[in-house]
Structure 1
């Protein structure tokens, strides 16, 4: 059997057109949605393709990148949750019961302060 491994150069050659195609598709989707919805709802002007791509870049700058958990703003919370899960798994039953009671004391009544 032949191995189907690509060299880094071949991967890059395929990667570049795929990124350009995805950017173009996203740009056209943003442009289409903007031009179909916002002019009638908010009386905003129509935009062209390059303005739509600019909006995508602006959203990426303001709200973070569009990755799937490889870092970024939301990753901090996933790391904390994973750390809590491993901590929970290493507790014995007595420690878990103590943790649950402390959690109920601190967070039990959402919107209501527990009187101590």
Structure 2
């Protein structure tokens, strides 16, 4: 399998696999839509092309799933944590003051309860 993707055959195999995956996912979206949404809300069924458009639209709106080891929120990555850990006390207090003035002081909400 590794040898296939190292050869010139990969320029044919990868696009074919990508298109096959797109059609398979679109078919699953179509089945789920027609089975659940159309039945629950009493609206008409969709065809394969509409399901593909719905799938692509959802990917554009909600992201392309940067999951796994590289994914996650930008502030949770190690480099960002290292930057915050390396700040000195003066910069940290300046940031806290700015956040309290800009947004709110969460300590005041905790004291009220």
Mapped pair 1:84 → 2:80:
yes
Q: Evaluate the alpha carbon distance shift between residue 108 and residue 42 of structure 1 in structure 2; reply closer, same or farther with a 3 A threshold.
A: same
Structure 2: how far apart are the matches of 1:11 and 1:59? 28
Q: CA RMSD in A?
A: 3.9
Mapped pair 1:6 → 2:6:
yes
Partner of 1:57: 56
Which blocks of at least 5 consecutive residues in structure 1 are unaligned? none
Q: 1:40-97 CA deviation, whole Å, 9 max, x = no partner?
A: 2111101111211121223234x0542427xxxx98x61x5545312123246xx29x
How does the TM-score come out when normalised to structure 1? 0.60
Structure 1 residue runs of 4 or more that deviate by more than 6 Å after TM superposition: none
Partner of 1:109: 106
Report matched runs for 1:22-101 at 5 Å.
22-61=21-60, 63=61, 65-68=63-66, 78=74, 80-82=75-77, 84-91=80-87, 95=89, 98-99=92-93
Number of paired residues?
A: 99
How does the TM-score come out when normalised to structure 2? 0.61
Higher helix proportion: 2
